[in-house]
């Protein structure tokens, strides 16, 4: 394997598989580094890691790595110094690396007390270039799926007609193909609105996404100091938070959903008596 990049110093492409997406709490379970050298050659290094914590099932369903797969792997701390030496003097690159992979990798090095100096390292994110050069808007989708230019873009009627044509073309193009939903579940695309809903719907309880469903189907807050915590538990322990939200600058739909949860809890509590 070679490359055609013009480099003044090595460029280390890397990707992480992790226990989750929380940089502060989650851990690396698999890392691959491909070091592109200025002479065109590449050197590859792949390392499985024991994260020292259970791998959540929802994460395993995405990357296919389970607890049994890492039980005999070394902890990151024991490979950190060798890994840092391999990447020493390299610029860093990847896909969506600036938002996730780089911060988590640096966090792991800090936990292992290994100096991984980020000064003088260039960061190249291929995803950012992808998004800059290949717009993901309705006009681009209309051209890609329907081979037409969207005349009158941002007009309600033109955009609505284009949306219908795009969805119709997508169903025809992807019929019978497998797609992976955000929850990791594989969905076979069909001309069926229930199936398309299951693929594209989010986990929001309210439309603004201030309250969402977690992996267990529980309603949790998705913002602020209570982010990730059960709405029911927060309302029990801190009843004033409900009043604060109702008086706050939140959408009416959010307030309505929050009130429904509160009333449901009240009814359930009285029903048990």
CA distance 142 to 167: 10
> Same structural domain for residues 21 and 79?
yes
> Same structural domain for residues 191 and 217?
no
Q: Which domain holds residue 67?
A: 11-130
| pTM (2 d.p.) | 0.62
- The pLDDT of 60-69, averaged and rounded, is 92
pLDDT of amino acid 269: 63
* H/E run at residue 94: strand 91-94
> Same structural domain for residues 171 and 232?
no
> Same structural domain for residues 75 and 97?
yes
114 neighbors 84 (Cβ within 8 angstroms): yes
> Same structural domain for residues 56 and 98?
yes
Q: HSE (CB half, 13 Å, CA atoms) of 88?
A: 9
Structural domain total, the chain: 3
CA distance 20 to 98: 16
CATH number at residue 95: 3.30.420.10
Query: Could you tell me what percent of the chain has a pLDDT over 90?
Result: 58
Residue 262 lies in a domain: yes
132-157 residue pLDDT tens? 788 888 999 999 999 999 988 777 78
pLDDT value at 107 more than 60? yes
CA distance 152 to 140: 14
Confidence of residue 270 (pLDDT cuts 50, 70, 90): low
pLDDT of amino acid 267: 67
Residue 6 lies in a domain: no
Q: Is the dihedral of CA 240, 243, 244, 245 positive or negative?
A: positive
Using CB atoms within 10 A of its CB, is residue 70 exposed (0-12), middle (13-18) or buried (19+)?
buried
Radius of gyration of the chain (CA): 24
**Which residues contact residue 239 at a Cβ distance below 8 angstroms, ignoring those fewer than 6 apart?**
none
Q: Domain boundary at 130, 153, 171, which? A: 130
> Same structural domain for residues 173 and 98?
no
158-179 residue pLDDT tens? 888 888 899 899 999 999 999 8
pLDDT value at 272 more than 70? no
- The pLDDT of 114-140, averaged and rounded, is 87
Residue 2 lies in a domain: no
> Same structural domain for residues 126 and 146?
no
pLDDT value at 268 more than 70? no
Q: Domain boundary at 84, 100, 130, which? A: 130
> Same structural domain for residues 126 and 237?
no
Of 14, 179, 40, 220, nearest to 98 by C-alpha is: 14
Residue 266 lies in a domain: yes
Q: Domain boundary at 105, 130, 155, which? A: 130
**Residue 30 φ then ψ, to 5°:** -155, 135
90 neighbors 123 (Cβ within 8 angstroms): no
């Amino acid at each position: 394997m070679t490359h055609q990049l013009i480099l003044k110093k090595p460029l280390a492409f890397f990707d992480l598989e992790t226990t989750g997406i929380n940089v502060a709490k989650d851990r690396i379970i698999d890392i691959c580094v491909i070091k592109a050298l200025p002479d065109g050659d590449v050197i590859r290094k792949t390392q499985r890691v024991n994260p020292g914590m259970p791998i959540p099932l929802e994460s395993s369903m995405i990357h296919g790595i389970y607890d049994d797969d890492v039980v005999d792997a070394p902890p990151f701390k024991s490979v950190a110094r060798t890994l840092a030496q391999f990447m020493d003097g390299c610029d860093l690159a990847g896909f969506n690396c600036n938002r996730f992979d780089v911060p988590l990798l640096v966090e792991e090095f800090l936990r292992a007390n290994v100096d991984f100096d980020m000064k003088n390292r260039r960061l190249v994110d291929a995803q950012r270039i992808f998004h800059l050069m290949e717009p993901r808007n309705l006009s681009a989708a209309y051209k890609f799926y329907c081979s037409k230019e969207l005349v009158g873009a941002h007009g309600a009627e033109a955009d609505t007609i284009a949306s219908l044509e795009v969805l119709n073309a997508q169903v025809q193009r992807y019929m019978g193909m497998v797609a992976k939903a955000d929850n990791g579940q594989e969905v076979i695309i069909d001309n069926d609105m229930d199936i398309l809903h299951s693929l594209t719907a989010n986990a929001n309880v309210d439309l603004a996404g201030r309250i969402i469903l977690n992996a267990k189907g529980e309603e949790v807050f998705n913002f602020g100091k209570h982010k990730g915590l059960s709405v029911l538990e927060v309302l029990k322990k801190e009843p004033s938070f409900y009043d604060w939200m109702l008086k706050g600058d939140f959408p009416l739909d959010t307030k309505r959903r929050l009130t429904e949860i509160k009333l449901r809890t009240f009814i359930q509590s009285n029903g048990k008596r």
